[in-house]
Amino acid sequence: MQRVIEFWVKVGERFISFLEYIGGVVTLLAQTLLWVVVPPLKGKRIIQQMSVIGWESLPIVSLIALFIGIVLALQSAYQLQKLSADIYIASLVSLSVTREIGPVITALVVAGRVGAAIAAELGTMKVTEQIDALETLAANPVKYLVVPRFVATTLMLPILTIYADYIGIFGGYLFGVYKLKIGSSLYWRMSYEPLILKDVFTGLIKSVFFGMIIAIIGCYEGFRAQEGAEGVGRATTLAVVTSFILIIAADCLFTTLFYFAF
């Protein structure tokens, strides 16, 4: 009986901790959205963060998107060649990349690279009491630290997603044209004809919310980092893992809403 009681006590504690976490994230998001519309908006800091988040992420996004496009074409060809339907490889790759693969893979890459960096940077500032110093100087930490990263991530992720879409489709093009000997103009036509605005905008809308998730989770974990290097490392790990989970969950939700609810 004692073990049963201890079990349910632990379950209750975990549930309360989960609710506290959700409440903290929602509170930080609300504060960030409020401070975004309160002037002045630090343009230089936002541009600096956009460069770090967007420009410096291009190499890894390019490499991963290219190989994802090639792998999609390879897997599609394995099945479609049995049906003598090689030409539809282009359509399958373009639809898969723009609807799902492009936004999700880009978000995961940025979460692993940028989300971890945000959590580590703010976590280090937290444990070295730099955030407390900002408050002493009457500077709001959310306005000064979170808003530039939030705005930059939310703006840059859709741009990176569009770029990843093109690179992914180009990866499928390389395999389809040079390996399967599909005509270049025919491949491009079969890539873009099936696409409609809904497919493109679905991916872009997802990427906006993915960017918000990455920024808010990274900042929140950085703010709640505990003392010492171990605490910063734990905050960085939690930021990446939590971002990954929320990105996949949000993708499932938006796909259901866009393609099955309406």
pLDDT tens figures, 187-196: 888 888 877 7
Q: What are the backbone dihedrals phi and psi of residue 127, each rounded to the nearest 5 degrees, phi first?
A: -75, -20
Which residue from 212, 241, 231 is spatially nearest to 149, judged by alpha carbons?
212
124 alpha-carbon distance from chain centroid: 23
Q: Assess contact for 222 and 200: CB atoms under 8 A.
A: no
Say which residue the tokens 């460069």 belong to: 51
178 versus 3: the higher-pLDDT residue is 178
As a whole number of angstroms, the distance between CA 119 and CA 224 comes to 9
As a whole number of angstroms, the distance between CA 184 and CA 201 comes to 26
| pLDDT tens readout for residues 96-154 | 888 888 899 999 999 988 888 888 888 888 888 787 787 777 778 888 888 899 999 99
Calculated CA dihedral for residues 240, 139, 228, 243, nearest 10 degrees: -10
62 alpha-carbon distance from chain centroid: 15
Predicted local confidence at residue 55, as pLDDT = 85
Which residue from 158, 233, 215, 187 is spatially nearest to 25, judged by alpha carbons?
215
- For residue 91, the one-letter residue type is S
Residue 169 CB: number of other CB atoms within 10 A? 26
Which residue from 33, 6, 222 is spatially nearest to 131, judged by alpha carbons?
222
